[in-house]
Amino acid sequence: MMRRIASVVTTLLLLTPLCARAEWHEREAAIMGTRIAVEVWHDDATAAAAAIDAVIAEMHRIDELMSHYRPDSQLSRINRDAATMPVKVDHELVELIARALQFSELSGGAFDITYASVGYLYDYRERRHPSEAQIAAALPAISWRHVVIDRVASTVRFLEPGVRIDLGGIAKGHAVDSAVRILRTHGIANGTVTAGGDSRILGDRRGRPWVVGIRHPDDPNRVIARIPLEDAAISTSGDYERYFDEGGVRYHHIIDPHTGKSPVGVRSVTVIGPEAIITEGLTKSVFVMGPERGLALIETQEDVDAVIVRSDGQVLYSKGLAPPAPMAP
């Protein structure tokens, strides 16, 4: 069945060549610690530039609010003070944390923003990982149930010391969805917004679907599947994005909250759905849950499909994407 699609992302290989007509307007920027790309169709270059400007400004705004790298961000203030008192923050941030907690409940804790309580001990550029003793000391602080929000007061509080949260598994999806809403207010009917591995498009590619190829985990020039879709969000998480190998172990940026370590049963997860916040949250959930449990979760979700590459190279598809069975001779 024809479903929805998104534009090129860093973990997907776009197979449809970019249209060379003047009505497509594009821009890239480095924001939120990743590549941001916006492409829109418009017959007025000034109007297209204004729409793209608004998207870039929105990405900067969300980064300033939610980045754990910025000591003056509201997220950093939460991590600094919420173990000792409720921290008042913008309603938007409270609602995003609430959405993250919903993913935690849905996934049985596989998705957990408090993974940062041990995650901050990893440094992939410096090839540094925590010791077993450091992980054991940090694990008690990891539990989404330690995070308490008050929607009325717009506050966040931690119930245990040592808790840290990181919205890296959901904030980019939120930003992409917000950017798409902005494009619509500017009258854009066909366009794409990408933030790292999370993308969303409006409409189709002017009369034809977009086609993406899901890249092979070990070779960015090979694809394992091609999917033609329209008007969708799509996210991919892979163990090849931020990682280092040591002693036969791959340490990558996705952390299992139950162990404080990188899960090993999956190489990549791609999820297609109606909103980027959904697809991003589910890729992380499925990655940690593992192939079988993760795929079972996907099958319970309305209008969502997934492609999972297991650690042994086997590719699993949700029912909506499964290739047709070969005809009997």
Question: Which tens digits make up the pLDDT trace of 51-93?
Answer: 999 999 999 999 999 998 899 999 999 999 999 999 999 999 9
Q: What is the pLDDT of residues 218-246, one digit of tens each?
A: 998 899 988 887 899 999 999 999 999 99
* 228 part of a folded domain: no
As a whole number of angstroms, the longest Cα–Cα distance in the chain is: 69
* 225 part of a folded domain: no
DSSP state of 235: E
Q: Taking residues 304-329, report their average pLDDT.
A: 84
Q: Domain tally for the chain?
A: 1
Contact between residue 11 and residue 215 where contact means Cβ atoms under 8 Å apart = yes
Phi and psi at 213, nearest 5°, equal -110, 130
Distance in angstroms (rounded) separating the CA atoms of residues 94 and 49: 32
Q: Which domain holds residue 125?
A: 68-158
What's the confidence (pLDDT) of residue 225? 87
* 72 part of a folded domain: yes
The bridge status of strand 147-150 relative to strand 249-252 is unpaired
* Residue ranges with strand state E in the chain: 12-14, 24-31, 34-41, 87-88, 147-150, 155-158, 191-195, 198-202, 210-216, 219-229, 233-238, 243-246, 249-252, 266-273, 305-310, 315-317
Residue 107 backbone zone (phi > 0: left; psi -120 to 50: alpha; other: beta): alpha
- CB-count burial class (<10 Å; 0-12, 13-18, 19+) for 183: buried
* 42 part of a folded domain: no
What's the confidence (pLDDT) of residue 183? 97
Label residues 62-83 b or e (16+ Cβ within 10 Å = b).
bbebbbbeeeebbbbebbeebb
Contacts of residue 96, defined as CB under 8 A and 6 or more positions apart, other chains included, come to 66, 167, 170, 171, 174
HSE, side-chain direction, 13 A CA sphere, residue 168: 20
Residue 324 — pLDDT band, cuts 50, 70, 90? low
324: which 2 tokens?
Answer: 């047709």
What's the confidence (pLDDT) of residue 19? 42
- Residues 17, 36, 51, 15: what is their CA dihedral angle, to the nearest 10 degrees? 10
**In this structure, how many other beta carbons lie within 10 angstroms of the beta carbon of residue 91?**
9
Query: Above 90 in pLDDT, residue 21?
Result: no
Residue 325 — pLDDT band, cuts 50, 70, 90? low
User: Which CATH number is 80's domain given?
Assistant: 1.10.3980.10
* 266 part of a folded domain: no
* 96 part of a folded domain: yes
Distance in angstroms (rounded) separating the CA atoms of residues 180 and 280: 15
Residue 323 — pLDDT band, cuts 50, 70, 90? low
* 5 part of a folded domain: no
Query: Above 90 in pLDDT, residue 269?
Result: yes
Q: Which of 235, 240, 236 is nearest to 250 (CA)?
A: 240
* 220 part of a folded domain: no
